[in-house]
Amino acid sequence: MKQKSKLPAGFGFPVWPYKIDPGKIIKAEATCLIWTEQSEDGTSAVMKMYYRRGFANFIRGIILNFRVKREFRILKHVAGCGVPCTIPLFWTFGYCKEYGFYEILRTRQIPNTISLRTLFSSEAITDKNIDLGPLFQLVYNMHRCGVYHGALSPKNILIDPTGNAHVKFYSIDFARGWLFPGSIIGRQMAWFDLLKLVRDIESDLGIGYCQPYLAQYGFEKVAIERFYKDARRYRSYSRKHKRIKNVLKVKVFFYAILTQLYQRGH
């Protein structure tokens, strides 16, 4: 891979064949591999690779931006706005015999944290009394700076479980996210982010647990009532409600694409 004179922000150059320590693999799926490794400065980094993308997907990535490039931009923007998240280090793409067409994102690993999903599953959580105020403040700030997460759930939220007085949450994995030019608070995509987050949290902590935190986010009483009415439909697995969710996802996707094309044209 030859270096160009002008490279996209954050572009990096891994050397192949890349040596991956099997003991440091976090996640291994058919087209996604996530592992940790040591950085040059001694800190830990997380490597996320999408591979076997197929030539058509690879060309689409070149035209519409690779998923990892988009995620790098979002993380850089979120971190710049002071919203706690994993720090992006570089992204790249290419081809090798072992993995085919691939794209890679490297981020700084956040030490001494576990996912909120792991915390909810822990036997140590008995009273189910967890202060989620800082989490909903994080989501509010993220939406205010124009970021739609797309997969906002406990597994993509990290927390320090050591019992510090000031609990801090971190948002990770913006692979389905989009960056918009202004605040998305009050828009349908922000509503969709919250529906997924609240559904997953309340499946562990009980229906209604997030009401005070929605009020903290900025919802008035009528909006909270409407939110829970929508949430009941969102929890449903009927064909009708699955279609509603799929239509909403398509709307968000096309709105994001149109926004990007408009920005390129101006």
Q: What is the mean pLDDT of residues 104-122?
A: 91
> Which residues are CB-contacts of 95 (< 8 A; sequence separation ≥ 6)?
101, 102
User: Where does the pLDDT of residue 3 fall: very low under 50, low under 70, confident under 90, or very high at 90 and above?
Assistant: very low
d(CA 64, CA 70): 9
Using alpha carbons only, what angle is made at residue 113 by residues 91 and 180, rounded to the nearest 5 degrees? 45
Provide mean pLDDT across the span 230-258: 68
Only one residue has tokens 């919203």, namely 83
Asked if residues 170 and 86 have their Cβ atoms less than 8 Å apart, the reply is yes
- List all residues 6 or more positions away from 172 whose beta carbon is below 8 Å from its beta carbon: 85, 86, 107, 110, 156, 157, 158
Q: Which two tokens stand for residue 214?
A: 């929605």
pLDDT at 4: 40
| pLDDT beyond 70 at 247 | no
pLDDT band with cut points at 50, 70 and 90 for residue 261: low
Number of other residues whose CB lies within 10 A of the CB of residue 13: 11
Q: What is residue 91's predicted lDDT score, i.e. its pLDDT?
A: 92
The one-character DSSP state at 211 is: H
82 pLDDT higher than 90: yes
Q: Rounded to whole angstroms, how far apart are CA atoms 230 and 207?
A: 13
- Return d(Cα 164, Cα 142) in angstroms, integer: 23
The region that residue 206 occupies, defined by phi over 0 for left and psi between -120 and 50 for alpha, beta otherwise, is left
**Strand ranges (E), 98-182:** 100-108, 114-115, 147-148, 157-159, 169-171, 178-179
- The answer to which of 125-139, 172-186, 202-216, 237-251 has the lowest mean pLDDT is 237-251
Q: Report whether 73 contacts 64 (CB < 8 A).
A: no
Dist. CA 196–CA 32, nearest whole Å: 23
For residue 223, pLDDT over 90 is answered with yes
Residue-range domains of the chain with CATH: 22-108 (3.30.200.20), 114-265 (1.10.510.10)
Backbone angles phi, psi at 122, to 5 degrees: -70, 140
**Residue 90 β-bridge partners:** 106
pLDDT category, 13, cuts 50, 70, 90? low
Backbone angles phi, psi at 100, to 5 degrees: 70, -150
**Length of the chain (residues):** 266
The Cα–Cα gap between 168 and 233 comes to 31
Name the pTM for this structure. Answer: 0.84
DSSP state of 11: B
Name the band, by pLDDT with cuts 50, 70 and 90, for residue 7: very low
